[in-house]
Amino acid sequence: MLIIGLTGGIASGKSLVARVFKDLGAHLIDADAIVHELLEPDQQAWKAVLDHFGSGVLLPNRTIDRRRLGELVFSDRNEREWLNQCLHPKVFEVYSARVRHLCDRQPDCIVVLDAALLIETGYHHRMDKVIVVYAEEGQQLQRLMDRDGFSREQALARIESQMPLQEKKAEADYVIDNTGNREETERQARQIFAQCRHDGESAP
């Protein structure tokens, strides 16, 4: 089994690369999707978030209003750290259980963990390979404003809450440059995935 950690900054193009890897046969584990599961009504993490932030973060259907929660945590570092400490250990527990299950069924498979805060949490040290998807800050900013309807200030707060991409690149085994067009990013993704697969097959 080969474990690849896929990370980058918000709106850097990580999801595009993840889709390419999945199409090439990788088993994709999406950390953000796990967070969605953990925050479903009446789950342990949902109750902890509700106790901490109050009912103002709930939508009428009792799900967490992620946009409202984001406004609270991206404007207050202490609140953001609390939320990260609440969620990250649980995310990695779920991830580890899924990897064990895959290992039992398909011991030669390739698993990709798609996690925006992989390096910030230090969990990248548990990966066999780390891939960082890179984009310029101005591109991230524009994508966030176009995609999510954030104001410039809201988008900047989210970008600045994460480790700078230049620092993440220093921790990477491979960097995918997403400053160009989609086709070029997909070409890099296919090439790097093939190299990772080759390295995995060559490992003792």
Going from N- to C-terminal start, the domains of the chain cover 2-202
Per residue in 73-93, pLDDT tens? 988 999 999 999 999 999 999
Q: Which two tokens stand for residue 127?
A: 């990966």
High-pLDDT (> 90) share of the chain, %: 84
Sheet of 27-30, strands arranged across:
27-30, 110-114, 2-8, 129-134, 174-177
At residue 40, does pLDDT exceed 60? yes
Helix or strand run (H / E) with residue 7: strand 2-8
CB-facing half-sphere around the CA of 98: CA atoms within 13 A:
17
Amino acid at 126: R
Q: Which of 126, 112, 116, 120 is nearest to 196 (CA)?
A: 112
Helix or strand run (H / E) with residue 52: helix 44-53
pLDDT for 204 equals 56
What is the pLDDT of the chain when averaged over all its residues?
A: 93
* CATH 3.40.50.300 matches 2-202: yes
Beta strands in 99-188 (DSSP E): 110-114, 129-134, 174-177
Coil/strand/helix, residue 30: strand
Q: Mean per-residue pLDDT for 187-201?
A: 90
pLDDT band at 145 (very low <50, low <70, confident <90, very high): very high
At residue 199, does pLDDT exceed 90? no
pLDDT for 75 equals 86
Contact by Cβ (8 Å): 187, 169: no
